[in-house]
Structure 1
Amino acid sequence: MDRLPRATRVFALVTATDWPAVALVVAVSVVAALQVGKAAIALPQLQADLGLTLAEGGWVMAVFALIGVAGGIPVGALTGRFGDRALILNGLFALALGSLAGAFAGGLWPLVLSRIVEGFGFLLIAVPAPVLLGRVAAPQDRDLAFGIWSTFMAAGIAIALIAGPAFSSWQNLWLANGALALAAAVVFAIVIRPGPVSAEPLSFARTARDTGATIAAGGPGLLALAFAAYNLQYFAAVGFLPILLTERLGVSISAAGGLSALAIGANVIGNLLSGPLIARGVPRWVLVAAASGVMGLTGLFIFLETTPPLLVFLLFVIFSAVGGLLPPTVLGGAPALAPLPTLAPISVGLVIQGNNLGQVLGPVLVGGVVASFGWSAAAVPVALAGVMGVGIGWALRGRGK
């Protein structure tokens, strides 16, 4: 495979989609997303057990993604050099290590450090996964495969929100997630075969050159910014929805988890619709702009204290469902807008950096704003991020399909 022409080393040419492999990529990605959702549903327990403030709880959620803010492109380079299978396996092991270590954390900073390890594992899965999909899915099925895969975040968070209250303590929830990651690693290692890798050695100069070419192409950078704006809105709402429901609706943690899971699960609707819409000729920029605009408008009213509690929940369902159009649109566009096929992992890495930037900014920014000015103040950054997403969508006009 090392002798493949430069243009075909990243995506192996397949004529029939390996759907079991696609399903397994989705499954291990869901395991990664569980680590995001578990912090949201466990936040009240963490506050009570470790004495965390709301702002500190925001950091427990956001620091998970911190390493990805700068690590997406380097992991993209590693993917090209060592292959998607190797990185995803190591990512699952990192998830297991971080989750198992976090279960024994006795304070804020040990827990934060364990979350950083988990975040590194998430990155090692999220960046290579689209590349792996690209080599197991036939060209005509790739948008559908990306649409199915992009449901992993909503599915993982929703499962964590539903299952979390069943555990007697947050520590047991962490231990269960660590064991699940180890089991997933075993299955993945057995089922998935190694793919093509580059014979060229890694070097800072080469990575810098490839990164510069990817950014200069324009499209991948715009997709990364669109993903950052989306995740700032999405994780600002998702991260605090359970505690918002307990405070505004006065429901139990278990009920808040179920309601949150239902609302977040609506994200899957948009995820699955994006592929067929693109196949029917709807431009990616239209989907980016539409999703961002609806999220910004509904997000504005979700956080306003004058909005009736029941309407807050219904608005979040719309916020989540329409917003679901954006992740597969962006992730599917990253390889397509790469300046060269061999730069697809770098392009995906850049987009994942945008994804993680939004994940970091959303909970931290909103947690700090709410702690200082109340829930209504959170409407401002969410609405502004929506406006930003609409502008980025407009700037994407004419770039690719």
Structure 2
Amino acid sequence: MSAAGATPDYQFAPHERPMMPGSPATPDHPTRRRIGYFLIGTLLGLTGGFINGLLTANLPQIQGALGLTTVEGGWLTAAYSMTNICMSLLLIKFRQQFGIQRFARMVLAGFLALNLSQIFVHSYGFELIVRGASGIVASGLSTLCLFYIMQSMPAAQRLGGMVLGVGMSQIALPLARVISPALLIHGDVQNLFLFELGLTLLCLAGVWLLRLPPSERIEAFEPLDFLTFALFAPGMALLCAVLVQGRIQWWTTPWLGYGLAGSLLLVGAALMVEHNRANPLLNTRWLGSGAIIRFAIIAASMRVLLSEQNYGASGLLAVVGMGQDQLVSFYVVVTLATVGGLVASLVTLNPTDLLRPVMISCGLIAAAAFLDVDASNLTRPAQLYGTQAMIAFAAIYFLGPALMGGILQALAKGPSHIVSFSALFGISQQLGGIGGAALLGSFQIIRERFHSEVLAQSILPTDPQAALRLQQLGGAYARTLGDPALRQAEGGVLLGQQVAREANILAFNDVFLLVGVLATLAFLYLLARWSYFKWKGITPLGKELAALAAMRNRAAS
């Protein structure tokens, strides 16, 4: 049976038909080819994850090399999120209309052009352009990774392959921090760009050697799609900018309010356009249903809670003086725990009980956060191995079930809902990540100011211990400063630095406590919901699973 819009000389068997237009066919492959697809998919996934992971891990070094302020460095982070957050809307339809091979060539050619340009051009403006374009490329690489991994799986395990494909890019985030010190051993950020160029060339070679099977194509784009995107994308970009810069420039900066208002207007206008379309890009009626809203809230909330590691633990270790070279073993542990979480998610994946892994992940985050609340200036990476391994495990363990739950709901409604789900999932993860950092970062700053004031008020000049401490700190300058008054003043400066450090540590402990409380509340909610389903004998997503089984039977016949 020939598929409409497919490559003319290729005949699809019924079981080989793509899941939806724009996705590759799924023929039966020999074992060696499956291994090849798996290895190339792994390479694509890690490369896509490194695009953001290397930026996040080495942002201070990039700022230093380009002479950037903290605000300018924040714009580099924002530029990536602003483009990455909703590119799936267009990329899915691009694949459907132009095919998977053209999509793959476009993504990798764009990435190669970016990396080559970055080696020769060094300026803040160009770096902003590169980071913005990198958000688009990362979205495309993640999709290619997904398709390659799924080709390596037998038909019965392809949904698990989808989970594995999404998890690959997550492994790259801690792994980037493991390899960064080796890349920057001579302090030259150019090595980062050369490393990315090498990965790009490997990806090009792999995709050229082993192509994806052809896909079905349709006329996917409609004129109103571009109007929706022209409203929706700038609105989400403004929201990302506000969340990233709010903590840096502080929330009372006037332009942040204007940006948030503009975001709400643009996104609202896009949703109004979609709500009244016969064939919407974003199915607002389905996205507004209770099940999908719960899914989005849970997915975003988990990302907020997981900021305990990305912002809390890394920030604490920076405050106590730990540099990248001293954190390699710490991030090796985090990487191994992430791999363990991915394996556990695949092994225990059960479409009829997808709530339990999310509940367990919340419990692990809560336990780890409460164990971290007694940090001090003597805390070192080794003391956080256990708790941060728990959080890294939870970060990937919840992702597979959450992703599968959303995909099953979308597929049961029809392939057209995949575009809406893909946009929702990407937005929830991006906003949850940068929103979590904004929330915890702002809370930490507020608590640091509180603790600084309390500690400063407790230090009295008449206190013998305080006077002795000032004398000891000033004594460090005894060989260079002969004036006792100057030594006393320098001692006061050092004491102020120590007070600021202790206040920051106490503030991070408050952050851990906040995350622990929020994770506990989430765990109790999910436990109550899971227990209710078990008591009533309800199978969540039972109707969706039945609908998909019926669709498969019809396709096979």
Aligned to 1:265: 336
* Conservation of the 8 A alpha-carbon contact between 2:4 and 2:216: yes
* Conservation of the 8 A alpha-carbon contact between 1:94 and 1:120: no
Tell me, in whole angstroms, the C-alpha distance in 2 between the residues paired with 1:371 and 1:49: 27
Residue range with higher mean Cα deviation, 236-245 or 63-72: 236-245
| Structure 1 residues 69-80: aligned runs within 5 Å | 69-80=85-96
The alignment yields a C-alpha RMSD, in angstroms, of 3.7
- Which one of the candidate residues 173, 178, 181 is aligned to 1:157? 173
Aligned to 2:553: none
Alpha-carbon displacement from aligned partner over 1:76-123 (angstroms, at most 9, x marks no partner): 33333334444344333444444555554434x543332111111111
1:9 aligns with 2:9: no
Tell me, in whole angstroms, the C-alpha distance in 2 between the residues paired with 1:399 and 1:88: 33
- Which one of the candidate residues 47, 57, 64 is aligned to 2:80? 64
Q: Quick one: structure 1 residues 322 and 188, their matched pair in 2 at CA, closer, same or farther if it must change by over 3 Å?
A: same
Residue range with higher mean Cα deviation, 193-202 or 118-127: 193-202
Tell me, in whole angstroms, the C-alpha distance in 2 between the residues paired with 1:288 and 1:29: 23
Tell me, in whole angstroms, the C-alpha distance in 2 between the residues paired with 1:153 and 1:94: 19
* Conservation of the 8 A alpha-carbon contact between 1:96 and 1:181: yes
1:227 aligns with 2:244: no
Tell me, in whole angstroms, the C-alpha distance in 2 between the residues paired with 1:15 and 1:60: 43
Q: Quick one: structure 1 residues 225 and 261, their matched pair in 2 at CA, closer, same or farther if it must change by over 3 Å?
A: farther
Q: Quick one: structure 1 residues 190 and 131, their matched pair in 2 at CA, closer, same or farther if it must change by over 3 Å?
A: closer
Q: Quick one: structure 1 residues 78 and 160, their matched pair in 2 at CA, closer, same or farther if it must change by over 3 Å?
A: same
Q: SS of the residue aligned with 2:217?
A: coil
Tell me, in whole angstroms, the C-alpha distance in 2 between the residues paired with 1:123 and 1:161: 21
Tell me, in whole angstroms, the C-alpha distance in 1 between the residues paired with 2:4 and 2:70: 51
1:287 aligns with 2:357: yes
Identity %: 15
Q: Quick one: structure 1 residues 128 and 271, their matched pair in 2 at CA, closer, same or farther if it must change by over 3 Å?
A: same
Tell me, in whole angstroms, the C-alpha distance in 2 between the residues paired with 1:202 and 1:112: 29
Q: In structure 1, give the amino acid aligned to 2:385.
A: F
Aligned to 1:253: 324
1:351 aligns with 2:367: no
Alpha-carbon displacement from aligned partner over 1:129-162 (angstroms, at most 9, x marks no partner): 4456556633311244234324313432233222
Tell me, in whole angstroms, the C-alpha distance in 2 between the residues paired with 1:258 and 1:13: 40
Tell me, in whole angstroms, the C-alpha distance in 2 between the residues paired with 1:324 and 1:284: 14
Aligned to 1:111: 127
Unaligned runs of 5+ in 2: 6-11, 226-276, 449-503, 534-539, 546-557
Q: In structure 2, give the amino acid aligned to 1:180.
A: L
Q: Quick one: structure 1 residues 50 and 182, their matched pair in 2 at CA, closer, same or farther if it must change by over 3 Å?
A: same
Q: Please report how far the alpha carbon of residue 256 of structure 1 lies from its aligned counterpart in structure 2 after TM superposition.
A: 1.3
Q: Please report how far the alpha carbon of residue 284 of structure 1 lies from its aligned counterpart in structure 2 after TM superposition.
A: 1.0
Q: Quick one: structure 1 residues 284 and 254, their matched pair in 2 at CA, closer, same or farther if it must change by over 3 Å?
A: same
Tell me, in whole angstroms, the C-alpha distance in 2 between the residues paired with 1:116 and 1:59: 10
Q: In structure 2, give the amino acid aligned to 1:123.
A: S
1:324 aligns with 2:396: yes
Q: In structure 1, give the amino acid aligned to 2:404.
A: G
TM-score by length of structure 2 reads 0.61
Q: Please report how far the alpha carbon of residue 287 of structure 1 lies from its aligned counterpart in structure 2 after TM superposition.
A: 1.1
Tell me, in whole angstroms, the C-alpha distance in 2 between the residues paired with 1:50 and 1:371: 27
Aligned to 2:435: 361
Q: Please report how far the alpha carbon of residue 23 of structure 1 lies from its aligned counterpart in structure 2 after TM superposition.
A: 3.0
Q: Quick one: structure 1 residues 301 and 206, their matched pair in 2 at CA, closer, same or farther if it must change by over 3 Å?
A: farther
| Structure 1 residues 381-392: aligned runs within 5 Å | 382-383=515-516, 386=519, 390=523, 391=525
Alpha-carbon displacement from aligned partner over 1:40-75 (angstroms, at most 9, x marks no partner): 331342354445566765554454233233333333
Tell me, in whole angstroms, the C-alpha distance in 1 between the residues paired with 2:178 and 2:167: 16
* Conservation of the 8 A alpha-carbon contact between 1:88 and 1:128: yes
Aligned to 2:256: none
Alpha-carbon displacement from aligned partner over 1:345-377 (angstroms, at most 9, x marks no partner): 542342122222223323444445445534345
Aligned to 1:39: 55
Q: Please report how far the alpha carbon of residue 254 of structure 1 lies from its aligned counterpart in structure 2 after TM superposition.
A: 1.5
- Which protein shows a greater Rg? 2
Q: In structure 2, give the amino acid aligned to 1:319.
A: I
Unaligned runs of 5+ in 1: none
* Conservation of the 8 A alpha-carbon contact between 1:25 and 1:149: yes
* Higher-RCO chain (CA-CA 8 Å, sequence separation at least 6): 1
